């Protein structure tokens, strides 16, 4: 009986393994997917996983279902580790093509020019954020010859990854457009118009991240402090505890922010029109004075110092909630219409009410405040606008020289000037956790290494704002990144188009502006001393009060000019 049981178990195991072998399928990285754009004048590189020793057959057909390249395609064998790689003959620009890999079909493939856009938030800045300046040009734009692959944000401490999280190639349609990188959009739109070729954009960027996060660990050996910084956080359990404690601290602070704010618990809430604010003092919005560059860095926002009255206790910032109310008288021509409330930019966060109705919130300082007001909410005569501002760490303020107005129909009311003010809850500053995406090498592992097999026509690099304080090493770091990526992409001539940092900080913030100017010189030196590296001028396009200038069209045009010039030289 024992023998028969063993025999049956062995037989079942063999049958199971056989079924597994029959069901085994080739798998592909997510970047090899329908709608992708492959680099013209370059072999089509395909790779993935299969069972060790499995034969992988690749075949490409054009729009007429005619085979491109070898009639039977090409075949490769998966190695002992299950990895396989195939290089197919280059495809003529255009398409669409269909790629068949065993039982997998990748359709709607175009051949054109592919560019990797990487860096920090000025790459991330979306089309939706620049509609104030380019609304007409953006409206309803659609172009199937331009496709974007947005690498999801991720970090990895232990080893370079082979694939990214869920992601697919997206066409440039009005449904997808607002989420695309504005710089990549204007670049690809103009490049397509001038060349007629399909354009593929791979965006791999993350706001606020320093350059060392994008460099592989082996290339950081000359910076032992950076390597050891990574070592500190390599233990998963330790990082989880940090996240857990940071989350608990944040939850406790939020609880106090609500529980101790009288504006939310008085019999008449401070955002309700019936609340009597007659005894509240009056403050100016926006208010403050330009610094002379002698104030400590923590006291400066864009070179502008907030008035001490409401934002501080006379010396230090007051964190927590600050309430502002303004009564606005509207004519009958604006009453009942849907409106738009523009409240510039606010440091740090806010919730806003109109006539006691909540109309919107933003959780951090950079996005412009644009709050739609539903039809029927505005009335003739007095209307009440209330802002509950949240200060999380530094000095709270309303950024000057931004739009502060109420719009309904063709009319608008200026909201700058006197507002009623009262302090709400006073709580400690946010106890920040660790931004693990800022740690050296972790973004290279998760967001660059998975795509190094994918041929590109160049890299657009817009980064450096987060390295101004370490600018003395930036030239070397950028040259290291370029050399490392070229080796990993197996393209020693891969062009880099380095976007110069935009102008930033008020003219009277002499210390800050000098630091940014030095950073630009370091960018220029890296470009000048590196083969096929080009500095794209951008310092004339900035906004002193916004680290994310809106004019991404002009800089996109300049990147196109650099690309075309390089291609002419190459020919």
Domains of the chain: which residue ranges? 116-233+435-570, 255-426
pLDDT the model gives residue 289: 37
**CATH code that applies to domain 255-426:** 2.60.120.260
Q: What is the mean pLDDT of residues 361-385?
A: 97
Cα 18 to Cα 297: distance, rounded to the nearest angstrom = 67
**What percent of the chain has a predicted confidence (pLDDT) above 70?**
92
pLDDT of residue 110: 98
**375: which 2 tokens?**
């039809």
Whether residue 2 is predicted with pLDDT greater than 90 in this model: the reply is no
The pLDDT, as a whole number, for residue 288 is 52
CB neighbour list of residue 188: distance below 8 Å, 6 or more residues apart? 115, 146, 148, 172, 199, 201
Q: Region 94-106: what's the mean pLDDT?
A: 97
DSSP state of 204: E
Distances (CA, A) of 170 to 149, 151, 173, 348: 6, 12, 8, 33
What does the pLDDT read at residue 304?
A: 41
Is residue 458 pLDDT above 90, yes or no?
yes
Distances (CA, A) of 52 to 27, 32, 57, 107, 524: 13, 21, 15, 27, 48
Count helices and strands in the chain by DSSP H and E runs: 12, 28
Give the pLDDT mean for 371-377. Answer: 98
Top-confidence residue, 292 or 506: 506
**β partners of residue 353:** 358, 386
Instruction: State the pTM of this model.
Output: 0.90
pLDDT at 25: 86
In the predicted structure, residue 4 carries a pLDDT above the cut 80: no
Q: 242 — alpha (psi -120 to 50), left (phi > 0) or beta?
A: alpha
Q: pLDDT by residue (tens digit) across 517-560? A: 999 999 999 999 999 999 999 999 999 999 999 999 999 999 99
Question: Is residue 182 over pLDDT 60?
Answer: yes
Mean pLDDT, to the nearest integer, of 257-272? 98
Given this model, what pLDDT does residue 410 score? Answer: 95
Least trusted range by pLDDT, from 1-10, 56-65, 129-138, 212-221: 1-10
Alpha-carbon span 305 to 218, nearest angstrom: 42
Q: Is pLDDT above 60 for 439?
A: yes
pLDDT digit string (tens) for 195-247?
A: 999 999 999 999 999 999 999 999 999 999 999 999 999 999 999 999 999 99
Quickly count: other Cβ atoms within 10 Å of residue 4's Cβ.
8
Lowest pLDDT segment from 8-12, 188-192, 501-505: 8-12
CATH no., domain 116-233+435-570: 3.40.50.1110
Instruction: Name the more confident of 569 and 328.
Output: 328
For CA atoms 386, 392, 394, 400, the dihedral sign is negative
C-alpha 455/C-alpha 453 separation (Å) is 6
């Amino acid at each position: 009986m024992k023998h028969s049981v063993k025999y049956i178990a062995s037989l079942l195991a063999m049958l199971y393994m056989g079924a597994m072998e029959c069901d085994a399928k080739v798998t592909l990285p997510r970047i090899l997917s329908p709608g992708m754009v492959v680099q013209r004048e370059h072999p089509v590189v395909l790779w993935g996983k299969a069972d060790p020793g499995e034969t992988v057959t690749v075949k490409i057909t054009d729009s007429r279902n005619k085979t491109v390249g070898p009639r039977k395609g090409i075949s490769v064998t998966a190695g002992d580790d299950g990895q396989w790689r195939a290089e197919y003959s280059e495809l003529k620009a255009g398409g669409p093509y269909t790629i068949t890999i065993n039982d997998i079909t990748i359709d709607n493939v175009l051949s054109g020019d592919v560019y990797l856009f990487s860096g920090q938030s000025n790459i991330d800045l979306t089309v939706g954020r620049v509609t104030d300046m380019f609304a007409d040009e953006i409206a309803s734009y659609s172009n199937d010859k331009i496709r974007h692959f947005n690498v999801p944000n991720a970090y990895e401490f232990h080893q370079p990854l082979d694939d990214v999280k869920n992601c697919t190639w997206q066409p440039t349609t009005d449904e997808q457009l607002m989420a695309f990188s504005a710089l990549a959009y204007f670049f690809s739109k103009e490049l397509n118009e001038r060349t007629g070729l399909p354009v593929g954009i791979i965006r791999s960027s993350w706001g606020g991240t320093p350059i060392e996060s994008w460099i592989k660990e082996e290339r950081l050996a000359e910076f032992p402090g950076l390597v050891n910084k990574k070592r500190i956080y390599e233990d998963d359990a330790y990082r989880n505890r940090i996240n857990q404690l940071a989350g608990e601290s944040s939850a406790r602070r939020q609880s106090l922010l609500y529980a101790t704010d009288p504006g939310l618990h008085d019999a008449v809430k401070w955002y309700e029109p019936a609340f009597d604010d007659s005894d509240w003092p009056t403050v100016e919005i926006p208010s403050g004075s330009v610094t002379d560059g002698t104030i400590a860095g923590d006291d400066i926002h864009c070179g502008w110092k907030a008035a001490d009255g409401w934002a501080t206790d006379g010396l230090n910032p007051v964190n927590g909630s600050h309430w502002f109310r303004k009564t606005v008288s509207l004519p009958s021509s604006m009453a009942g219409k849907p409106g738009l409330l523009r409240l510039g930019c606010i440091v740090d966060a806010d919730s806003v009410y109109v006539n006691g109705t909540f109309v919107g919130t933003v959780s951090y300082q950079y996005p412009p405040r644009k709050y739609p007001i539903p039809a029927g909410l505005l009335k003739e005569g007095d209307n009440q606008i209330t802002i509950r501002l949240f200060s999380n760490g530094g000095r709270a303020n309303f950024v000057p020289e931004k739009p502060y107005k109420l719009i309904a129909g063709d009319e608008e009311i200026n909201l700058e000037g006197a507002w009623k003010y009262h302090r709400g809850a006073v709580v400690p500053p946010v106890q920040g956790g660790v931004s693990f995406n800022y740690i050296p090498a972790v973004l290279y592992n998760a967001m660059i290494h998975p795509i190094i097999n994918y041929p590109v026509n160049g890299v657009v690099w817009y980064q450096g704002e987060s390295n101004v304080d370490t600018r003395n090493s930036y030239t070397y770091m950028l040259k290291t990144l370029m050399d490392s990526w070229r080796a990993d992409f197996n393209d020693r001539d891969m062009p880099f188009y380095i976007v110069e940092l935009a102008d930033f900080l008020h003219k009277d913030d002499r210390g800050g502006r000098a630091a940014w100017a030095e950073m630009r010189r370091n960018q220029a030196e890296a470009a000048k001393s590196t083969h096929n590296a080009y500095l794209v001028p951008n310092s004339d396009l900035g906004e002193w009060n916004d680290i994310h200038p809106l004019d991404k069209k002009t800089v996109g045009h300049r990147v196109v000019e650099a690309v075309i010039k390089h291609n002419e030289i190459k020919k």
